[in-house]
Structure 1
Amino acid sequence: MKKLLAGLAVAVGLALGAGAAQAEQVKIGFSPEAYPPFWSQDASGSWGGWEVEIINAICAEQKLDCVLTPIPWDGLIPALGTKKIDAIMNSMSITDERKKTIDFSDKYYNTPTAVIGSKDAKFDATPEGLKGKIIGVQVSTVHAAYAKKHFTEAAEIKEYQTQDEANQDLTAGRIDATQADSIALDAFLKSDAGKACCDMKGYVAPDDEVLGPGVGAGVRKDDAALKDKLNAGIKAIRDNGKYAEITKKYFDFDVYGAEGQTN
């Protein structure tokens, strides 16, 4: 009996090993910075948040062994090109400029872009309202590109490696405003520091050329197979309710945006 049980254990072990060996490993590049509620890190160093859960759901649906791989934000696209990572899933907007270098999956969310500033300052999120202001943006983002294109009469467009650094300078009074995704800025405004200093000044005017149709997974142009798998995973979790299940934990609305709007 012991020999039989031992044989069964070996057989099960081999079967599990074979299954694990067949799982395709995909290195998912992300910038290791807090961007709540999309990305946050717990005391043990593990990453969680809406986008992390969505990544896990897409990978589970497609039976991909996805490994979160930290890369500085402005190094993500170069790392994809040199195959240090296989995909970028880090709230990266789909834009024509980026598509000159990389390809994208269909979008998996699309939320408005907003501007916040000091409670004591009265201005709106328009070129006129931001005239003469110092605006903080994260480097190599659609927000930096938008600010440079539309807020030409600002006193300065100051770029930061992380959005958190821009928020800190806004709190300290070193800049007048910062532009970013409205959901991320809303999360900051709900923090102790954000509640004390700042409020929402409004949403910026649409510019599809700069802001794009939403956020997608960045992949190499020659990796159509992975793009197809990610697209299938996105569609599947939208269809089977997993996307809605995850979203309800973080938001009281559907962050996907308009239906039928894809890459």
Structure 2
Amino acid sequence: MRRRTALAATLALPGAVRALPPARLHIGFAVGYAPFSEVGSDGELQGFEIDLAKALCERLHARCLPVILDFDGLIPALLSRKIDAIMASMAVTAAREQVIAFSAPYYYSPARLVAAHDSRLNVSPSGLRGKRIGVERGTVHERFLAEVFKDSQIVRYGTQDQVFLDLKSGRLDAALADAVIANFGFLNKPEGRGFGFVGPDFREPQYFGKGIGIGLRKVDAPGLGRQFDQALAALRGSGALKALNDRYFSLDLVSPPR
């Protein structure tokens, strides 16, 4: 209970409150995705998406409270009104747009396979036939593997950290994840020594969508969704979004790909 209270305080922002958006917004996060969202050694939430959520809520004059869920539980929680928005590196895809609405994208990143340096994998559907590939359940990466690498053994996990743990232990031949999450959450850490990216960037729009956006209920798109878009545009126009990008990344993730 104490941990939950401490985490909730992380995004609490003082100041004026307006009727719209709601005085309190519950934002769904899936932690364990450095440097986007993770629990620090002090028990507090930290990362790019955490800081972006704070900046957006400040512009909206709303008190934002984090709700930590597994990734595949985020959309059900949104639809059942347990949370008001999702900020969890969720790609804007046509399939998801049938169910929920999205803000404008706030960052863009390809998917990559990660494997041991000495794996010598042939990254193709035929080359990975029978290979064990780990992926987080409920993600666009899972759907991509299931449809494109259908002859591989797809091993599904509740969190990305669990994927990397089994990759490190040798129970997987490879793992598919967002390139930045894989780089910062595994490859740049001691446990990622001996591993690296294999194969090409995967950007197929039918799987990986238009970028990463804030997930919203469709009924909230004209109101809260529009206000998130305006706040994002203001942060982009002022240079604050790029400054936040540069605090965490050595590459530009927030500018739309050309």
Structure 2: gaps (5+ residues):
1-13
The 5-angstrom pairing of residues 1-263 of structure 1 reads 19-20=16-17, 24-31=23-30, 33-154=31-152, 156-187=153-184, 188-195=186-193, 197-223=194-220, 224-258=222-256
Measure, in 2, the Cα distance between the counterparts of 1:40 and 1:221: 28
Measure, in 2, the Cα distance between the counterparts of 1:68 and 1:206: 30
Q: Which amino acid aligns with 1:214?
A: G
Residues 161-182 of structure 1: per-residue CA shift (max 9 Å, x gap): 0011010000000010000000
Residues 59-80 of structure 1: per-residue CA shift (max 9 Å, x gap): 1122222111122221111111
**Contact kept? 1:61, 1:237, Cα under 8 Å:** no
TM-score, with length taken from structure 1: 0.86
Q: Which runs of 4+ in 1 moved over 4 A?
A: 20-23
Distance 1:19 1:204, change over 3 A: closer
Match of 2:6 in 1: none
**Contact kept? 1:25, 1:65, Cα under 8 Å:** yes
Aligned pair count reads 241
Shift in Å at residue 204 of structure 1?
Answer: 4.1
Q: SS of 2:181's equivalent? A: helix
Measure, in 2, the Cα distance between the counterparts of 1:170 and 1:215: 26
Residues 179-206 of structure 1: per-residue CA shift (max 9 Å, x gap): 00000111111100101x3111033443
Measure, in 1, the Cα distance between the counterparts of 2:201 and 2:146: 13
TM-score, with length taken from structure 2: 0.88
Q: CA RMSD in A?
A: 1.8
- Percent sequence identity is 33
Match of 2:5 in 1: none
Distance 1:36 1:205, change over 3 A: closer
Q: SS of 2:129's equivalent? A: coil
Structure 1: gaps (5+ residues):
1-16
Shift in Å at residue 96 of structure 1?
Answer: 1.1
**Contact kept? 1:111, 1:256, Cα under 8 Å:** no
Q: SS of 1:216's equivalent? A: coil
**Contact kept? 2:93, 2:207, Cα under 8 Å:** yes
**Contact kept? 1:126, 1:205, Cα under 8 Å:** no
Distance 1:203 1:54, change over 3 A: farther
Q: SS of 1:29's equivalent? A: strand
Match of 2:11 in 1: none
Measure, in 2, the Cα distance between the counterparts of 1:124 and 1:212: 25
